[in-house]
Amino acid sequence: MTRVLIITGDAIGLRMAGPAIRAWNMAIILARENEVVLMTTTSLEQVDAPFRLARARPGEDAAFGQYEEWAEVIVFQGYAMSQFSALRNTNTIIVADIYDPMHLEMLEQGRELARATWELQVRTATDVLNDQLAHADFFLCASERQRMFYLGQLATLGRVSPATYDHDPHLSQLIAVAPFGLSATPAVHESQVVKGVRPGISATDKLLIWGGGLYSWFDPLTLIEAVAQLSKRRSDLRLLFLGTRHPGVGEMGIVRKSFDLAHDLGALDTSVYFNESWVQYSERQNWLLEADAGVSTHMSHIETTFAFRTRILDYLWAGLPMVVTEGDSFAALVTDEGLGVVVPANDVAALEAAIERVLYDEEFAAAARQNVQRVREEFVWERVLAPLVEFVRSPRRAADQLNGRVDRELRAKRLKRYGLGHNVRMFWRYLRAEGVGRTLRRVTSRLNRSR
């Protein structure tokens, strides 16, 4: 039995988003054989769990240090290494879960910011990720495409070396693929929540569901336009955005743009609906199982190439045929396995035709559902997390870490993106880039999060 600390930067509770859901399921799987603590660096609700729950806010080194000293293996996501000095300097075995390429994500997420702020955020995310890549003993990514990408970064940082290569020429003991997963327990509908319940959506309507939040790297606008057009011929078509407000993340501009476009097209609350809260994790199956198909549309850019759309796993779990935009690893799976229809980015006509096919071509939809039933077994949590389970059974330092963390000189040169000095630098950067008003709002928001 190994003592394992799992860290997520997302809120843990009844309403959880992707990173927290992934960390939660890691804890469930590992707790079957090990002693596990799941820690969040943001907010924590006390919920029933077969493992211990904890919270340590960024900079609370004393609180975090107790768990770091206790743990034999630490698994973390996101910014934890830059938030706790004990993790940056630990001799405990470290697993970095890099399934979300944060620096690529920030390229899109920061578009709405002033240029200086955008560049700062991308640079910060890149430095944080490189620090993880330089120091962790084992890495988890979401796809073979991501693995190739990260191997390039690891090589640049000197981690692809004779030490790591000698007895492991495929580097499988350094970085493994562990996609986002889904529950092995079939989804069961427990209560009616949309059809015949939500005003404007009847029990016989065709429901297309967007199974997650609205972020700037997605493309809900083309989808709204396609649905608005198709609804002129298919009066029973309904599109529901399952969530618009991510727990713990500020609302992005795309949310307001989506509402405004639906309103301007006359589709708001007639064919396009928004669920403005965040559905409880334990209740999401009720919403999914009332849908007739799932949809995920995004822009075409570098983030898409290496993304792993976690909402697709919920579509697989609920047995839904789907419409997705081309370009990411899941689009290839949808095409190869016949799970639905793949469309080009920003193509309203193609998207309209695809939606009509998955919702109204009963023969096609039935075949897609059968294929989904078959494919989803490949993504159950027990299967996708097998590399992590095996590592924790026999935890080991990376071959190039046996004499201490690699590249300490590189780490020493990194800007210290924590503490008072970092806060002062960030204040002046934001002040120059965004002015007094927005900077003060950022300071207020940061202080509120730290309470």
pLDDT one-digit tens code per residue, 97-106: 999 888 988 8
Q: What is the pLDDT of residue 411?
A: 40
Answer whether residue 262 shows pLDDT above 90. yes
Helix, strand counts (H, E) of the chain: 20, 13
Q: In angstroms, rounded to a whole number, what is the distance separating the alpha carbons of residues 3 and 75?
A: 11
| Span 400-412, average pLDDT | 58
| Span 231-256, average pLDDT | 80
pLDDT category at 407 given cuts 50, 70, 90 is: very low
Q: How many CB atoms lie within 10 A of CB 182?
A: 24
Q: What is the pLDDT of residue 413?
A: 44
Q: In angstroms, rounded to a whole number, what is the distance separating the alpha carbons of residues 226 and 244?
A: 20
- pLDDT tens, position by position, 291-305: 999 999 988 777 777
pLDDT category at 15 given cuts 50, 70, 90 is: confident
Check if the beta carbon of residue 182 is closer than 8 Å to that of residue 313: yes
Q: What is the pLDDT of residue 422?
A: 58
Q: What is the pLDDT of residue 244?
A: 74
Least confident of 28-32, 212-216, 302-306, 353-357: 302-306
Q: What is the pLDDT of residue 17?
A: 81
pLDDT category at 90 given cuts 50, 70, 90 is: very high
Q: Topology of domain 3-181+385-417, per CATH?
A: Rossmann fold (3.40.50)
Q: Please name the residue ranges forming H helices in 299-407.
A: 302-306, 311-318, 329-337, 348-360, 362-375, 381-384, 386-393
| Span 270-284, average pLDDT | 84
Q: What is the pLDDT of residue 272?
A: 97
CATH class of 206-379: alpha beta
Amino acid found at 30: L
| Span 334-361, average pLDDT | 96
- pLDDT tens, position by position, 302-326: 777 767 677 788 899 999 999 999 9
Answer whether residue 382 shows pLDDT above 90. yes
Q: How many CB atoms lie within 10 A of CB 20?
A: 23
Answer whether residue 378 shows pLDDT above 80. yes
Q: What is the pLDDT of residue 388?
A: 98
- pLDDT tens, position by position, 350-359: 999 999 999 9
| Span 276-286, average pLDDT | 80
Check if the beta carbon of residue 249 is closer than 8 Å to that of residue 376: no
pLDDT category at 432 given cuts 50, 70, 90 is: low
Of 175, 265, 273, the closest CA to residue 229 belongs to 265
Q: What is the pLDDT of residue 423?
A: 62
Q: What is the pLDDT of residue 217?
A: 75
| Span 64-75, average pLDDT | 96
Q: In angstroms, rounded to a whole number, what is the distance separating the alpha carbons of residues 417 and 130?
A: 13
Percent of the chain at pLDDT > 70 equals 86
Q: How many CB atoms lie within 10 A of CB 135?
A: 24
As annotated, the residues of the chain forming the CATH 3.40.50.2000 domain(s) are 3-181+385-417, 206-379
Answer whether residue 415 shows pLDDT above 70. no
Greater pLDDT, 151 or 418? 151
Q: In angstroms, rounded to a whole number, what is the distance separating the alpha carbons of residues 378 and 384?
A: 8
pLDDT category at 393 given cuts 50, 70, 90 is: very high
- 187 sits in the region (left: phi over 0; alpha: psi -120 to 50; else beta) called beta
Least confident of 56-60, 101-105, 255-259, 343-347: 101-105
pLDDT category at 214 given cuts 50, 70, 90 is: confident
